[in-house]
Chains A and B, each alone.
Chain A
Amino acid sequence: DDARAAFDRFSQDLRGLDGSFEQRVYDANGHLSEHSTGTIALRTPRQFRWEYLDPFPQLIVADGNHVWIYDPDLEQVNVRIQSHEEQSSPLAVLIDPDELERQFTVSRGGDEDGLDWMVLTPRGEDAQFDQARLAFDGAGALARMELDDSLGQKTRVTFSGWERNPDFAADHFSFEPPAGVDVVGAMAEAAEVTPIR
């Protein structure tokens, strides 16, 4: 199965990944409701940084303990504890390949658009998407991700400019709420963050 072979090769010795994405979201009747671009970074064991640049800025950072969602326009930071089986995005399996089989049943997805497709169906019921598909290009790089949810919303992401095992800045996967924004959500009881008024 070419897609699975491509996945194994792509995720081998992969401790970190950095690239750009272009995302389109279609609602149930096929209407394009969102078209955004940005950058994405991943690092073992469970860190990621998803930064929307256009049409609106938004930063999502998972530092391994917490997931921070910062909306500069809305001056709000949502923080929640990053639970271990955090299935926020199937991309996490790229840097933690053993999780692939643990969290998904994997099947072949054909070769539409000349790519090798792999279909991931979440094993747990509480996954937020019904099905995810990953596509690898001729060079064996992850080219696309598609997510379908139970309301018929379809997310289509294309990736470009992958850099394998880059040396990230020290604070690339940490987040400090800027002054003046509302910080809401659950922190671990130990680390108390008082909302900055």
Chain B
Amino acid sequence: CVRAPVRIDADDALLAGQQVREATLERQGAWTLVGRIAVSDGQDGGSGRIQWAQDGERFDIRLSAPVSRQSWRLSGQPGAARLEGLEGGPLDGPDAEALLYEATGWLIPLADMARWARGMRGDGVARVSFDERGLPSLIEQAGWAIEYRDWVDAGDPRLPRRVFAERGQARVRLQVERWEATGG
């Protein structure tokens, strides 16, 4: 049976631990995650393999659909993004999130997700509750609820393995198969 999630309200000690985690992760600015992602808006959606490489503010995200192996690549940095793999050739735009949404209907809050995926709060106000190990179990921010359903067993700081983010009907669910530290 699914264990009920532990939600311990933040106190000074837990928040201090989270700050240490976040500071450590911020220093590790180059990382890659490989896994599966499912996105939906209540009516429609998609799922597939994701390889997300981040190097500071630069990102290189590859998504590929199952069976047909159709793949897209969203790369760039804040202010300059390119989406490749669609019919009609590459698309360029200042905002990666808008580019992906307009071309595929996939809504992924990319800037925040780059931090949420690692169990970090995004910029701005966030409420965090913790599990019994002092790891975030729920972050509420920008209207999103980000649930940490599973963590990678080893590693310091620990990194998430299964992240379910939800805002109204919008859902982004991430299952991480592996993290690669040095930008892959």
Contact = CB atoms under 8 A, between A and B. Distances in A.
A153 B171 CA distance: 27
Interface residues of A, number: 37
Contacts of A151: 62, 71-73, 84-85
Contacts of A184: 40-45
Contacts of A195: 42
Between A50, A60, A151, the greatest number of chain B beta carbons within 10 A of the residue's beta carbon is seen for: A151
Main secondary structure of the interface of B (DSSP, over half): strand
Name the interface size band of chain B: 35 or more
Contact of A34 (B37, B43, B49): B49
Nearest to B87: A126
B85 A74 contact: no
Interface of B: 34-38, 40-47, 49, 51, 62, 64-73, 84-85, 87, 162, 164, 171, 173, 175, 177, 184
Contact of A128 (B46, B65, B175): B65
B68 A89 contact: yes
9 contacts: A33-B49, A34-B49, A56-B35, A58-B66, A67-B67, A71-B38, A75-B164, A185-B45, A186-B44
A74 B171 CA distance: 10
A195 B41 CA distance: 12
